Amino acid sequence: MSSQVEQIKAKLGIVEIVGSYLKLEKAGSNFKACCPFHNEKTPSFFISPDRETYHCFGCNRGGDIFSFVQEIEGLDFFGALEVLAQKAGIELKPVDIKLKSENERFYAILEEATKFYHTALLQSLEAKQYVKNRQLTEETVRNFRIGYAKEDWSSLLNHLLQKGFKSEDIEKTGLIISSNQSLRHPGGRYYDRFRGRVMFPLSDVSGRTVGFSGRIVVASEREEAKYINTPQTTLYDKSRLLFGYDKAKSEIRKKDFCVLVEGQMDLVSSHQAGVINTVAVSGTALTSYHLNLIKILTDNLVMAFDGDTAGISAARRGINIALSLGMEVKIALLPDGLDPADLVVQDKTEWISAIERATNVIDFYLSALARKNYDSRTLNKKVSEDVLPYIARLTNSIDQAKFVSKVASFVGTKDEPIWDELKKIKLDFPDSDFLPGTSLTNNIPIKISKFSLIERKLFGLLYWLEGGRESELSPVVLRQEMSDILGQEKFTRQEESYLKDKNQLILEAEIYFESSANLKQGANELILVLKEEVLKQELDLLLNKIRELENTSDEEGMSGLLKRCQEITKEINNLKKTG
């Protein structure tokens, strides 16, 4: 019987999978698209149905459906396996819990907690009355797996312990708190974090629960926040998670725009009203990572705010980043005092109309300023402070020129003074929440680099072979080849970092390679890619050194660096011919 990987590959084609993310064009017997992994206007990303592979001639990324889903979704191997198995309609074989990585244990705990909370809601009159008052349907509650945390100190903890999970692992998911951290807890080593709250599971891009947001049901005498969220954990990072993203992805691609709201109830209500291409931030401001996730699917963003400009002022930083990423940002203006959830309850057609009436953020601000009845001097100052910085961040020169003319007409002047003011604006971009290896011109958040994917796969294969797998491929030879490519020092350092996940790597290799017809050929292909990636890393370092020497008189040093760059380029080209 073929492996799960082979079963998935037999049912899912590369064109089907990549086509669900990108708009493909026929190119002879192949397909092409603009690469999702780097900015480009002319397609250089090619998909081969015959080979079931993809390759970008611009950034040299390539692989099969598994590597594509891993990179574009930012998932580990098992995350991609679950996503593709679900698409293929294949039930994955149970995996020995002892072989699972720590993260996989966390996912299992959070999944069990999601089921526990959902069952508790169905059994609680108080919780059911709350969702009824918010006019959420049974279908919506089921679709979002909304639950309820009982007003109890340890009901979830006891349930999870009975299921065989360890309290130390449960604590690391953020579901329980050590009693040492609180003087209010009546006793016991741990207690439940969420109590007396309607629970919204927070999912990653593939739909796996990574945390929760709990909304208090009945206000008590003690001071408690209306919402509390899972704290920062290995799986949950609020600056990187968009609530509802996993459910909205397909509709965002289909509609070619994304609606952004604040809060869980706004999101759930919007989906129930039929605006499924809606996502929400959860307990944090909009970050570049959030916007990168959206930009994978569309360049068009609609942000919903109430009647005044307080909300949009708070979102200014996110809008600036979105514009700098080349996104079209529109504002949907809601009636005073109403958020999306309130508006859906009052009249869902009005919510849909508000989205349809959304206007460009620059037009929105000009209209808002026009209603203020400022004198001309104050108006000019407000335009310089509130509008021109947005125009300065536009990446399209034609769009800039269009809005410069519009602003000039608005304040009653010629275009030239507006251009002069625009040139004075200094753009600053905080780097704190940009992903490693990304910038404003690299629009896809990738957690796992191609180099890391290949290296991880090779170490897994090595450990699998060394564990006694019979094969014509010698683990001694493979180990030596990897050491030669990486260098002994780096190989040793990398192996030390992978040893803690050795069982996980063996499991991944077994699942991926167990039915491989030619294991040696597969390993050789990985070795060639590893060589190429190492050479590219060296080339990048040399190019940086060359840039540093450009303003010096070190001609000899420059000559040596250029010579080595030529040698590396030749080696890379030879490897491509070999592959």
> What is the block-wise mean pLDDT of the chain (579 residues), using blocks of 10 residues?
70 89 84 82 84 79 86 78 86 59 85 96 92 93 95 93 93 89 57 94 87 84 77 89 89 90 92 96 84 85 72 78 90 85 91 94 91 90 91 87 92 91 75 34 43 85 83 88 91 87 73 70 86 87 81 79 87 75
**Helices 450-466 and 519-549, packing angle to 10 deg:** 140
- Predicted pLDDT of residue 137: 94
Give the list of residues 6+ apart from residue 102 with CB closer than 8 angstroms, or none: 169, 172, 234
Q: What is each CA distance from 207 to 200, 242, 380, 419, in whole angstroms? A: 13, 11, 48, 47
Q: What is each CA distance from 274 to 140, 155, 207, 281, 453, in whole angstroms? A: 11, 36, 20, 19, 38
Q: Cβ distance 209 to 104 under 8 Å?
A: no
Q: Please provide the DSSP assignment of 441-509 as one string.
A: T-----SS-HHHHHHHHHHHHHHHHHTT---SS-HHHHHHHHHHHH-HHHHHHHHHHHHTTHHHHHHHH
Measured between alpha carbons, how far is 74 from 56 in angstroms, rounded to an integer? Answer: 18
Q: May I ask the CATH class of domain 240-447?
A: alpha beta
Q: Which CATH superfamily is domain 102-236 in?
A: DNA primase, catalytic core, N-terminal domain (3.90.980.10)
- Predicted pLDDT of residue 111: 95
∠ Cα 483 485 488 (to 5°): 35
Measured between alpha carbons, how far is 58 from 115 in angstroms, rounded to an integer? Answer: 45
Q: For the whole model, what pTM was predicted?
A: 0.66
- Amino acid at position 267, single letter: L
Residue identified by tokens 């480009």 is: 40
Measured between alpha carbons, how far is 61 from 95 in angstroms, rounded to an integer? Answer: 30
Measured between alpha carbons, how far is 485 from 489 in angstroms, rounded to an integer? Answer: 11
- Predicted pLDDT of residue 41: 72
Give the list of residues 6+ apart from residue 160 with CB closer than 8 angstroms, or none: 109, 112, 113, 116, 170, 175
Measured between alpha carbons, how far is 546 from 1 in angstroms, rounded to an integer? Answer: 54
Q: What is each CA distance from 293 to 264, 374, 437, in whole angstroms? A: 18, 39, 15
Q: Cβ distance 266 to 248 under 8 Å?
A: no
Q: Cβ distance 119 to 245 under 8 Å?
A: no
- Amino acid at position 402, single letter: K
Choose among 459, 514, 519: nearest CA to 491: 459
Measured between alpha carbons, how far is 104 from 106 in angstroms, rounded to an integer? Answer: 5
DSSP 8-state code for residue 243: B
- Predicted pLDDT of residue 278: 96
Query: Which strands, in side-by-side order, build the sheet including 359-360?
Result: 278-281, 258-262, 300-305, 328-333, 359-360
- Predicted pLDDT of residue 514: 64
Choose among 490, 488, 477, 480: nearest CA to 537: 490
DSSP 8-state code for residue 514: T
Residue 374: half-sphere exposure toward Cβ, Cα within 13 Å: 16
Give the list of residues 6+ apart from residue 471 with CB closer than 8 angstroms, or none: 465, 519, 520
- Predicted pLDDT of residue 329: 95
- Take residue 104 and report the two structure tokens written for it: 């996989």
Measured between alpha carbons, how far is 210 from 227 in angstroms, rounded to an integer? Answer: 17
Give the three-state DSSP class for 397. helix
Measured between alpha carbons, how far is 216 from 148 in angstroms, rounded to an integer? Answer: 10
Q: Which CATH superfamily is domain 1-93 in?
A: Zinc finger, CHC2-typedomain (3.90.580.10)
Annotated domain spans of the chain: 1-93, 102-236, 240-447, 449-579
